């Protein structure tokens, strides 16, 4: 929702009493377009600027809550919902950064994990049918050794 649409929404609410006109003015001041800054300027915000911004937002929230609480009780919920929707629509949220793994396919599959169920199946089958059980033990040993070697070889290149 753009600033002009939000102002139109505020203008359409005829249920706001005359003493709540300051609330409408406050909402209009909040939703005014903010001058944009470059990406370099955004990354140079230090903790002091963040604290100042945080305290200003808290002050504006308290001020809006005070104006909403001064309105008649029948209209408080509607005013609260309007403010929540306006703020939700106007605030831009940056998408989360995507983490890329450096290991590629080695991180996706480790043969050591396949060796564990083979070892367990070999233990059970060695009692019931020893040749198959011993074969599964051998396969488990090979896959576990492969998994251990793949970890050491992949770290050796880094």
Q: Give the per-residue pLDDT at 100.
A: 58
Q: Where does the pLDDT of residue 129 fall: very low under 50, low under 70, confident under 90, or very high at 90 and above?
A: very high
Kindly state the average pLDDT of the residues 111-115. 91
Q: Say whether pLDDT at 126 is over 80.
A: yes
Give the angle 144-145-148 at the CA atoms, nearest 5°.
85
Element (H, E) at 34: none
pLDDT tens digits, 3-54: 555 555 555 444 444 445 566 666 666 555 545 444 445 545 556 688 888 8
- The model's pTM is 0.35
- Rounded Cα gap, residues 3 and 29, in angstroms: 10
Whether residue 56 has pLDDT greater than 60 = yes
The stretch 58-83 carries a mean pLDDT of: 88
pLDDT of residue 93: 80
Question: What is the residue-averaged pLDDT of the chain?
Answer: 75
Burial of 86 (0-12, 13-18, 19+ CB in 10 A): buried
Label each residue of 91-140 as H, E or C: CCCCCCCCCCCCCCHHHHCCHHHHHHHHHHHHHHHHHHCHHHHHHHHHHH
DSSP helix/strand/coil, 158: coil
pLDDT for 50 equals 81
Closest CA to 4 of 61, 89, 97: 89
């Amino acid at each position: 929702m753009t600033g002009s649409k939000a102002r139109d929404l505020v203008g359409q609410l005829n249920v706001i009493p005359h003493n709540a006109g300051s609330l409408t003015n406050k909402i209009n001041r909040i939703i005014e377009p903010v001058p944009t800054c470059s990406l370099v300027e955004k990354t140079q915000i230090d903790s002091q600027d963040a604290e100042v911004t945080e305290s200003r937002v808290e002050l504006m929230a308290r001020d809006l809550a005070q104006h909403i609480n001064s309105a008649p009780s029948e209209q408080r919920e509607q005013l609260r919902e309007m403010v929540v929707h306006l703020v939700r629509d106007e605030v831009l949220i940056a998408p989360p950064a995507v983490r890329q793994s450096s290991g590629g396919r080695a991180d996706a599959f480790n043969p050591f994990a396949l060796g564990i169920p083979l070892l367990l199946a070999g233990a059970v089958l060695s009692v019931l049918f020893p040749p198959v059980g011993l074969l599964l033990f051998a396969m488990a040993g090979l896959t576990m050794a492969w998994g251990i070697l793949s970890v050491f070889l992949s770290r050796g290149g880094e």
